Amino acid sequence: MTNEEKQLLTGVRELGYELSPTQVASLLSYLEHLDITNRSFNLTRIPREDYVSLHVLDSLTALTCLPDSDHLSLLDIGTGAGFPGVPLAALLPSAKITLLDSTAKKVRFAADTANSCGITNCVGLHARAEALGHDPKHRERYDVVTSRAVAAFSTLIELMLPLVRVGGRVIALKGARADEELSGTESLVSELGGGPAETRIVAIPGTDIHRQLVVVEKLRKTPGKYPRRK
Ligand code: SAH
């Protein structure tokens, strides 16, 4: 077994999940393609040796906040090179994952590469989240909306909640300053139809970094004026 295979298997186990050999192969092949493509087209600044921990295992910390149900529909806003959407798709074969980004080349890379690596339950979508939130085909359609490293919480929540169905939830992958970002946003979150934000702290396996996951349940419909167009 290679070091990366070991790192991935033990890290995922630490998060409470098991990977099949096929899932390991798919994820590592995705990372290999990312590394190669990244040499000619800037997709990530994270160094190659940190891909397993800072891309895959970090993305998978979101598993600890997912509802316990099959056939989830999940939208990843600002997926970039496919994080957290692609690792989540690999771990949740019965879920349908939509990878959204406003840069067409990134969407194409993430969706095509995932599919060619055997992660076939994700589709790419090229749009801005502000516009998608007003599109009846997408508004209030998703069980879960995730996002990592896209915007401050006060901006992000307005992009995320309109796309979540009532009864679904938002999972924002935030860093050490999550509390600061959350302060003062209570009335906006409530206006958007969200319940109180809850933060869960999860260690990224094999690192001394802690991910702060901000979870907001959607309790009521979002008023039609949101997301406000920028
Ligand atoms: N989630 C990835 C990428 C973060 S970089 C990761 O954590 O590695 C932020 C990404 O969000 C960029 O790819 C950018 O194109 C995209 N983005 C920023 N604003 C957006 C918006 N309003 N709608 C859709 N995508 C957006």
SS3 for 106-175 is HHHHHHHHHHHCCCCCEEEEECCHHHHCCCCCCCCCEEEEEEECCCCHHHHHHHHHHHEEEEEEEEEEEC
Look at ligand 1, atom 14, and give the residue with the nearest C-alpha.
78
Mean pLDDT of 8-33: 97
Mean pLDDT of 20-45: 97
> Given this model, what pLDDT does residue 113 score?
98
Could you identify the atom of ligand 1 that is nearest to the CA of residue 82? 2
Mutate to test the pocket of ligand 1, among 102, 103, 108, 160 (most ligand atoms within 8 A of CB): 102
Give per-residue pLDDT as tens, 100-135. 999 999 999 999 999 999 999 999 999 999 999 999
Mean pLDDT of 66-73: 92
Give, rounded to a whole angstrom, the gap between the first and last alpha carbons of the chain: 50
Mean pLDDT of 62-71: 93
Beta bridge partners of 144: 74, 169
Q: Is 173 in the pocket of ligand 1 (CB under 6 A)?
A: no
Distance CA 60, CA 82 (A): 12
Cα dist. 30→56, 78, 194 in Å? Answer: 10, 18, 34
Mean pLDDT of 60-65: 97
Mean pLDDT of 42-52: 96
Supply the mean pLDDT for the chain: 97
> Given this model, what pLDDT does residue 209 score?
96
Indicate whether this model's pTM tops 0.95.
yes
Q: Is 211 in the pocket of ligand 1 (CB under 6 A)?
A: no
Cα dist. 165→31, 96, 180 in Å? Answer: 32, 15, 27
3-class SS at 23?
A: helix
> Given this model, what pLDDT does residue 69 score?
87
Could you identify the atom of ligand 1 that is nearest to the CA of residue 46? 8
Q: Is 126 in the pocket of ligand 1 (CB under 6 A)?
A: no
> Given this model, what pLDDT does residue 230 score?
66
Q: Is 146 in the pocket of ligand 1 (CB under 6 A)?
A: no
Give per-residue pLDDT as tens, 156-175. 999 999 999 999 999 999 99
Is residue 6 scored above 70 in pLDDT? yes
